[in-house]
Structure 1
């Protein structure tokens, strides 16, 4: 079974059982500054796990795009990927453990034909916070799983999020493992044996961990499951590596062609290139561009690591374009938008590759100077080259080896860890659950984004369309289609319009409408986009009312303030180019906006 067949079989199985198919959310969380990327299928659904009604009902299924940066250094082995797809089904206060486990067992054994003899299970062993998961254990026994094939493990293994130390929705889980080794299959399940590969995880969310560490029951019991598409495809095909499936072989072939080297002798390098370029393609498609901050920094790092590996394969021309095309070709059946954006994706990645050529040149010069002055380049010097020029440690090591010496990697790692600890505090944090910011400030900034969008249309024209957004605790960032730099007059007019709507103290409300109803009401939104396919329903936020007129009507998932007066004030802080035909605005509200406006008016 190939990946696209598994994807279809999974969706069909759960749709037949009353689940509504919903689209994947973006890799970049729209309203959650606590994380850089969507790391799990549950991430976009947290408000609904906490009890907010979902427009599509209580049973959902989808394939979610996910990205986990913690796996970057592990890429190159058989299983680690940065970008992957997660098959998932949810029950929002509907069915619970009995039905969820039965669905999982039936799909594996009946739909996929997995022999029960090759399955093993783990369940939560229980602790001071929650009891042993007897119900899940009994259900698996009833399905025909032998007791010696069921392991009872603690929070680090059978709780989601792992360890149960972060606030938000969570609970015990049960995991399914497949024996990938030779016959005979062991009669007992040893979780430490790597030949048992995890393929599916059913999470039973019944707790909401408070900030003080206590566990409160959720208003409803939920089920959140996750099956890695790439890993399960490999297992079903009898492959030991995800890179040996049809999802990657065309990409690796393109790398062999451009580098004129063989995969069999350069597996690790080619796997890194395949993974990193594939992830880069998906990030650019979701509106991320290389930069030195946040998501852009991760994209930059991925592209540069791929270029470095091509360099090791003696591909000095860095023919990454053909690899990009191969990635798009393999993913396009699932994500047609990739073909529409192929030129933009190629342009963004090619530009970063060209920029890194300059980095390589500068780094080589700096290396020569360091070595000439001291006759030595150690761990500290290697980190200086890395942090100042983006010069990869691997390249420094290669150059030092040519001099008959070595780099003290422990010193480098210590310096890197120190740097990472400092930057991580404001960067990617483990997903703790929650649109991190249901906080007042986030709601204000998100509402301001709607006002800004409409004001830009009024000042610049109807061609303006949102191309991306990001909200932190301090500011909003809004990318939009427009060819020219905004004039000072245009910026002042946009600010004026937004502040007028704030002073009017307009009400903000929402309704769940059908796509046709939303179109008739002229709601702003791409109807091919995420919200347009949530069971045929969309959430439409309206700013204004019949009495004072409607200023904005836009498809959105929230959260928002209830009155524009809560924003107090609005100010643009920056307007710049994001990419060809795309402009970027940064803005603030409240006291920060008042201060910014005061400075402008002096």
Structure 2
């Protein structure tokens, strides 16, 4: 079965069950400071999981492109990936555990759909603790479908619980579905999640609690279902492969690396080729996103830089260089029809990959000079970006032994410090400071319209990030704004705040919505129906109107005083404004 067949079957199955197909969102989250990338299909849906009404209804399905960087160090095994496609279905207060589990089981085992052997399926459910009881409903449902009790593991929160996304908010138990990937004749009667031949292929999350500031778990009024199944793993399982990199979603890239290096995908080369293939696929998708992310030393740009440089570093193990563009060409060819933004932005992708690869060659040169001076390996790594593996290899050639344990200890301290800093940086997202982020979200709409009026040209949004303290708005503009222009924008926004304009929402089909003149991103994909937020008495005469999922305040006078604190360049032809409300 092909990847496209699985994509089509998944969407068709849930469409038959009354779900509306919604498009994949950008890899770069809008107005969610808690994550750098879209890491799951649920991220773009957070406002709707919290109670906002989705224009498409209460039963949704899509295939979301995702980036997860937590697993970067694990990339190189057979199943962890930085970029992946997440097939997901949601119920926003419509159905719950019984139906969700039935849908999952039917799609996996019915001959009309995936046709997996139900005798090779095992599951896990939440065991319960002092805050929430054992998930008996999920347990009994699996039994009724013919899953033996020996194949139903009762596991603690660390295994079978999701959320909340922040310190407070929606959360609940989940049930994970595993498939035996070993010899069918050797399928164990009892499920043991420590056995790597049991591969997790689907996760159904049941959001039924709200965690309060006091740490209590209270029942949610709207119980939601959020499920996710990775396409790459599913494709490998369906085709009886024990290596995701041998599927059509990776093998053309591996073959290209084999040709460039004149080496085979075997032995020590396996891990190296997997890392190169994974990282450059992820980098291609990040660069291909309409938000225009480029390699740099902060946020998404830093992750992108790390992926490219790590791939280049491992390329040296295979004695290849100046190869990133050639790998990206394969990725664009593989995915260009499914994700047309890759084909559209291919020149941008190729240029940035080549430039970053050339820059890293210079970094390597600096690192080599510092190595010759006897600089500590940890300083080489953190200050000069010089890979520890290369330091170790060079030291071995000179008969010098490096204490890897000491390096690992220093790195662990460094990572813990980084994680702590990040946790502080990302406090106060939509999940735990809704009122402040809601105000700043509305202020962002006012800012965009004010820029359009003052600069006298259409303003194309290139990115947006909001936390409880400030808004950040990136837009296409090819010069620095003057102090007078910034003051005019600030004054105009504050004027509209003082006018106490109403903020309204309307839902309509996409054709009608486009005729209203509401601002939207032409690179983004929308469903059949969209929501428009407009600021003013009517949609026709609104001062501002944009395609948007919300949330927003009800009138502009709730915002307070608007202040621009910074205006700067972030890339060629892209300016950034940071602003606050007080």
- Normalising by structure 1, what TM-score? 0.90
Q: Which of 359, 365, 388 is the equivalent residue of 1:361?
A: 365
Q: Which of 271, 281, 290 is the equivalent residue of 2:284?
A: 281
What's the CA shift for 1:550? 2.6
What's the CA shift for 1:103? 1.1
Match for residue 72 of structure 1? 72
Q: Which of 510, 515, 523 is the equivalent residue of 2:518?
A: 523
Could you tell which deviates more after superposition, 81-90 or 42-51? 42-51
Closer/same/farther in 2, CA of residues 346 and 285 from structure 1, 3 Å limit:
same
Match for residue 598 of structure 1? none
Closer/same/farther in 2, CA of residues 307 and 77 from structure 1, 3 Å limit:
same
Match for residue 303 of structure 2? 298
Unaligned runs of 5+ in 2: none
Within the alignment, does 1:418 sit opposite 2:422 as a pair?
no
Q: Which of 542, 547, 557 is the equivalent residue of 1:550?
A: 542
Distance of 1:272 and 1:202 partners within structure 2: 29
Match for residue 17 of structure 1? 17
Q: Which of 252, 273, 276 is the equivalent residue of 2:254?
A: 252
Query: Alpha-carbon deviations, 1:384-407, whole Å to 9, x = none?
Result: 111211111111111111111122
Asked whether the 8 Å contact 1:51–1:219 carries over to 2, the reply is no
Asked whether the 8 Å contact 1:33–1:473 carries over to 2, the reply is no
| RMSD, aligned α-carbons | 2.5
Could you tell which deviates more after superposition, 354-363 or 335-344? 354-363
Match for residue 600 of structure 1? none
Match for residue 241 of structure 1? 243
Closer/same/farther in 2, CA of residues 547 and 149 from structure 1, 3 Å limit:
closer
Asked whether the 8 Å contact 1:161–1:432 carries over to 2, the reply is no
What's the CA shift for 1:560? 2.6
Within the alignment, does 1:38 sit opposite 2:38 as a pair?
yes
Distance of 1:472 and 1:351 partners within structure 2: 32
Asked whether the 8 Å contact 2:56–2:530 carries over to 1, the reply is no
Distance of 2:105 and 2:295 partners within structure 1: 43
Closer/same/farther in 2, CA of residues 274 and 411 from structure 1, 3 Å limit:
same
Match for residue 5 of structure 2? 5
Distance of 1:282 and 1:406 partners within structure 2: 39
Could you tell which deviates more after superposition, 543-552 or 477-486? 543-552
What's the CA shift for 1:69? 1.3
Q: Which of 463, 466, 475 is the equivalent residue of 1:468?
A: 463
Asked whether the 8 Å contact 1:479–1:578 carries over to 2, the reply is no
Unaligned runs of 5+ in 1: 372-376, 592-602
What's the CA shift for 1:256? 2.1
Query: Alpha-carbon deviations, 1:239-282, whole Å to 9, x = none?
Result: 11111100001111222223333222411111111111111112
Distance of 1:386 and 1:415 partners within structure 2: 11
Match for residue 541 of structure 1? 533
Match for residue 84 of structure 2? 84
Could you tell which deviates more after superposition, 283-292 or 269-278? 283-292
Q: Tell me the secondary structure at the aligned position of residue 157 of structure 1.
A: helix
Could you tell which deviates more after superposition, 83-92 or 137-146? 137-146
Within the alignment, does 1:119 sit opposite 2:113 as a pair?
no
Closer/same/farther in 2, CA of residues 469 and 122 from structure 1, 3 Å limit:
same
Distance of 1:437 and 1:337 partners within structure 2: 33
Query: Alpha-carbon deviations, 1:134-177, whole Å to 9, x = none?
Result: 22222222212222222222222222239x99532121222211
Distance of 1:161 and 1:117 partners within structure 2: 31
Distance of 1:95 and 1:175 partners within structure 2: 18
Distance of 1:283 and 1:225 partners within structure 2: 24
Could you tell which deviates more after superposition, 133-142 or 382-391? 133-142
Match for residue 211 of structure 1? 213
Distance of 1:428 and 1:584 partners within structure 2: 27
Query: Alpha-carbon deviations, 1:390-427, whole Å to 9, x = none?
Result: 11111111111111112222222222222222222343
Distance of 1:17 and 1:304 partners within structure 2: 45
Q: Tell me the secondary structure at the aligned position of residue 219 of structure 2.
A: strand
Match for residue 344 of structure 1? 348
Could you tell which deviates more after superposition, 438-447 or 342-351? 438-447
Give the alignment of 1:120-519 within 5 angstroms. 120-161=122-163, 166-182=167-183, 183-265=185-267, 266-286=269-289, 287=291, 288-315=293-320, 317-369=321-373, 371=374, 381-427=376-422, 435-436=430-431, 438-519=433-514
Asked whether the 8 Å contact 1:87–1:229 carries over to 2, the reply is yes
Could you tell which deviates more after superposition, 570-579 or 193-202? 570-579
Asked whether the 8 Å contact 1:234–1:240 carries over to 2, the reply is yes
Closer/same/farther in 2, CA of residues 13 and 575 from structure 1, 3 Å limit:
same
Asked whether the 8 Å contact 1:46–1:433 carries over to 2, the reply is no
What's the CA shift for 1:335? 0.9
Q: Tell me the secondary structure at the aligned position of residue 192 of structure 1.
A: coil
Q: Tell me the secondary structure at the aligned position of residue 541 of structure 1.
A: strand
Q: Tell me the secondary structure at the aligned position of residue 542 of structure 2.
A: strand
Asked whether the 8 Å contact 1:35–1:429 carries over to 2, the reply is no
Asked whether the 8 Å contact 2:477–2:575 carries over to 1, the reply is no
What's the CA shift for 1:488? 4.7
What's the CA shift for 1:443? 2.6
Could you tell which deviates more after superposition, 447-456 or 491-500? 491-500
Distance of 1:578 and 1:477 partners within structure 2: 15
Q: Tell me the secondary structure at the aligned position of residue 30 of structure 1.
A: coil
What's the CA shift for 1:549? 5.6
Closer/same/farther in 2, CA of residues 270 and 281 from structure 1, 3 Å limit:
same
Could you tell which deviates more after superposition, 288-297 or 304-313? 288-297
